């Protein structure tokens, strides 16, 4: 689902993909704008895509109430000189319905041509066929607020051609297909110097199927297929005119922003890998998965969560299938991104709840079932205040700071709201809060001087050490060393319960349970 900077290429690839899907799905992602006439719809579509760097060529003509754009090509260079992507659409029609609305009609097949030229990898050329059935796009509203309503029975993408380093790959050696059915959504567009987009999308089901067989000798293969149900997306975007995605710092300063949430239910997949007579295969499933992302000139946030995840895998290295499950997973990060004069809030949280393994895997190291089989849980919740010293989207500024050995941020406060580690019958909990004096870099040898308290509680540790020694997994001298360390930093608080309070005072002294240790 942390990170000290957000690479420019990542964001550009994200928005390149988003824009491609938008244009090939015929405003399906809602990221085009239109007025009440066919000409205005077509002109504004080109203007929007042009703001992302697409070059559009076409021949258009008006006949009665219908505008037809023929031989439409939409091309764009990929970031960091990585190649190009182009869409070739035989014809688009924009029909005025006589009631102030416009219907946009797309062909059943659209070609997507991708030339990938990574600097340290093989050159790849591929052609994808985008197919649709039952796609209907209706544009309504006026020049101050436009509404896009769209439905589609099916949308699909298949690999039509693949060429690696100039050598065509036979179709029987590689097959890729993705299909979505029963799609519907709405997008609301408010034009202006900063175009406002608000979108919703639902998809009943997405299925995918990938097969790769190495063409060199035909030995081995890789298969991957699966499905997702009840997909949904909702989000907003703010897009300035003439935005340059090669200069993200300027784009965000001009008002560029996005905030979106994507999720699905009942995810399932199957995979199989064969090589030199060895086979690895398995399945995965999940009850619910969700991703969230938002960014503007001041802040970024990203999150992911999952529920009911299960994995089953068979490998020749083990005589039994490996099975594992996680009840819940979560990741959240929020942080300032631009240079700030005052400290700003940040946060980081991680969670893995109710992790379990299949009994055959347990039996490999605990055949006597001496260790508790209870689910394991890890939770970490941090927040604080920090002042960022530069714009992470300005590569030159970041490079200059690195060369001058300047810190990219100052940490001013850190709060541990929750720490929980529970496994094998033992549990560790904790909480704490610290402030940091960035003017004092001497007391802790170059680190801002902290001041605050950390409280910890450990239950069941001695019983776990005893069990591990009985099983022969932990030598007695190592167990003794662990007990000595716990005795130095903790005090008894019940049967097999230890508590510890670590304090750093304003003089820079470190105390454990009131006793100075530094």
Q: Strand pairing partners for 306?
A: 289, 329
Domain contains 60: yes
DSSP 8-class letter at 374 = P
Backbone angles phi, psi at 360, to 5 degrees: -60, -35
Instruction: Let me know: does 62 contact 39? Beta carbons within 8 Å.
Output: yes
Domain contains 109: yes
Dig out the tokens for 48 from the structure. Answer: 């929007």
Domain contains 510: no
Domain contains 517: no
Domain contains 513: no
The full 3-state SS of 178-236, as one line of letters, equals EEEEEEEEEEEEECCCEEEEEEEEEEEEEEEEEEECCCCCCCCEEEEEEEEEEEEEEEE
- Supply the pLDDT for residue 346: 97
- Supply the pLDDT for residue 27: 40
At 396, is the secondary structure helix, strand, or coil? helix
**Residue 186: domain span:** 9-241
Angle CA 115–120–126, to nearest 5: 20
Domain contains 81: yes
Backbone angles phi, psi at 351, to 5 degrees: -150, 135
- Supply the pLDDT for residue 466: 96
Residues of the chain with pLDDT under 70: 1-35, 51, 217-218
pLDDT digits (tens, 9 = 90+) for 45-99: 787 777 677 899 999 999 999 999 999 999 998 877 889 999 999 999 999 999 9
Number of compact structural domains in the chain: 1
b/e code 494-513 from CB counts within 10 Å (16+ = b): eebbbbbbbbbeeeeeeebe
Instruction: Let me know: does 398 contact 392? Beta carbons within 8 Å.
Output: yes
Task: Return the residue matching tokens 């580690």.
Answer: 421
| Helix residue ranges per DSSP H, 275-326 | none
- Supply the pLDDT for residue 218: 57
> Does the reported pTM lie above 0.75?
yes
pLDDT digits (tens, 9 = 90+) for 397-417: 777 877 877 788 899 999 999
Domain contains 285: no
At 232, is the secondary structure helix, strand, or coil? strand
Query: How far is the C-alpha of 109 from the C-alpha of 289, rounded, in Å?
Result: 31
């Amino acid at each position: 689902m942390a990170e000290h900077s957000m690479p420019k290429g990542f964001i550009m690839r994200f928005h390149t993909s988003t824009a491609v899907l938008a244009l090939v799905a015929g405003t399906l992602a809602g990221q085009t704008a239109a007025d009440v006439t066919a000409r205005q719809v077509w002109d504004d579509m080109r203007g929007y895509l042009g703001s992302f760097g697409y070059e559009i060529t076409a021949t258009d003509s008006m006949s009665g109430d219908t505008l037809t754009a023929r031989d439409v090509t939409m091309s764009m260079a990929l970031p960091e000189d990585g190649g190009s992507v182009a869409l070739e659409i035989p014809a688009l029609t924009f029909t005025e319905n006589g009631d102030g609305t416009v219907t946009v009609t797309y062909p059943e097949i659209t070609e997507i041509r991708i030339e990938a030229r990574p600097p340290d990898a093989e050159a790849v050329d591929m052609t994808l066929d985008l197919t649709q059935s039952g796609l209907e796009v209706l544009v309504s509203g006026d020049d101050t607020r436009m509404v896009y309503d769209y439905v589609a029975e099916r949308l699909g993408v298949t690999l039509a051609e693949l060429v690696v380093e100039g050598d065509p790959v036979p179709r029987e050696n590689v097959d890729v297909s993705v299909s979505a059915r029963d799609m519907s959504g709405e997008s609301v567009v408010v034009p202006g110097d900063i175009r406002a987009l608000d979108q919703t999308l639902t998809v009943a089901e997405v299925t995918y199927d990938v097969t790769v067989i190495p063409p060199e000798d035909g030995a081995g293969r890789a298969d991957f297929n699966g499905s997702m149900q009840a997909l949904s997306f909702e989000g907003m975007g703010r897009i300035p005119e003439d935005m340059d995605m090669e200069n993200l710092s300027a784009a965000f300063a001009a008002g560029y922003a996005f905030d979106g949430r994507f999720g699905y239910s009942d995810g399932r997949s199957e995979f199989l890998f064969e090589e030199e007579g060895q086979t690895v295969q398995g399945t995965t499933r999940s009850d619910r998965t969700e991703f969230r992302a938002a960014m503007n000139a001041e802040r970024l946030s990203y999150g992911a969560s999952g529920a009911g995840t299960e994995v089953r895998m068979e490998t020749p290295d083990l005589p039994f299938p490996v099975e594992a499950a996680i009840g819940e997973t979560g990741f959240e990060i929020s942080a300032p991104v631009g240079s700030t004069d005052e400290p700003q809030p940040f946060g980081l949280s991680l969670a893995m709840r109710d992790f379990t393994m299949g009994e055959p895997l347990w039996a490999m190291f605990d055949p006597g079932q001496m260790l508790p089989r209870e689910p394991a849980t890890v939770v970490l919740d941090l927040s604080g205040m920090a002042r960022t010293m530069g714009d992470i989207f300005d590569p030159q500024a970041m490079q200059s700071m690195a060369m001058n050995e300047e810190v990219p941020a100052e940490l001013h406060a850190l709060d541990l709201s929750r720490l929980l580690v529970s496994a094998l019958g033992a549990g560790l909990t904790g909480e704490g809060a610290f402030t940091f004096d960035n003017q004092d870099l001497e007391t802790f040898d170059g680190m801002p001087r902290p001041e605050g308290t950390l409280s910890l509680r450990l239950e069941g540790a001695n019983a776990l050490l005893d069990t591990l020694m009985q099983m022969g997994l932990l030598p007695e001298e190592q167990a003794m060393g662990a007990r000595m360390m716990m005795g130095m930093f903790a005090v008894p608080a019940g049967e097999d319960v230890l508590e510890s309070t670590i304090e750093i005072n304003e003089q820079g002294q470190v105390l454990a349970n009131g006793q100075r240790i530094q």
